[in-house]
Amino acid sequence: MHNARVIQHASLTTRHAQLTHSLQTVSNIRSLTASLFGVAAGTLGLESFPGFLFYALGSLVVSLLLFSLRANAQAKSYFHSPVADLWIGDLFGGLMSFVLTWTLFYGLVRA
């Protein structure tokens, strides 16, 4: 009886570690790609709505790639809440990185 509880606890701990690792990986990918999208938008000279649309479309493409390549179209096995963690998660955190690099490179190209 005691061994079964220990095994169950170890299984839950391992599952939690795997979910945390998946979330951290997605967060790192989103931060990096948001900055790269900002560099691209600034270099292209996008302003206002087209720039934010560029970010939204880029984030959608990254989410699709994460879903198909990293999660093998089985997001439930890698994320606790796939919609929130994979499709929406870190969207606004990435937006800040995007705007920062977007304005920086827009200013450098247009100066």
User: Which tens digits make up the pLDDT trace of 36-88?
Assistant: 999 999 999 999 999 999 999 999 898 888 778 766 667 666 666 766 666 77
Distance in angstroms (rounded) separating the CA atoms of residues 79 and 19 = 6
**Cα→Cα distances 83→29, 53, 73, 76, 80, Å:** 17, 21, 13, 9, 9
Segment among 8-12, 24-28, 87-91 with least mean pLDDT: 8-12
If phi over 0 gives left and psi between -120 and 50 gives alpha, with beta otherwise, what is residue 78? Answer: alpha
Non-local CB neighbours of 9 within 8 Å, separated by 6+ positions: none
How much is the pTM? Answer: 0.78
| Helix ranges restricted to H, the chain | 2-44, 48-65, 82, 91-110
Non-local CB neighbours of 67 within 8 Å, separated by 6+ positions: 73, 75, 86, 87
Q: In this structure, what DSSP letter does residue 47 have?
A: -
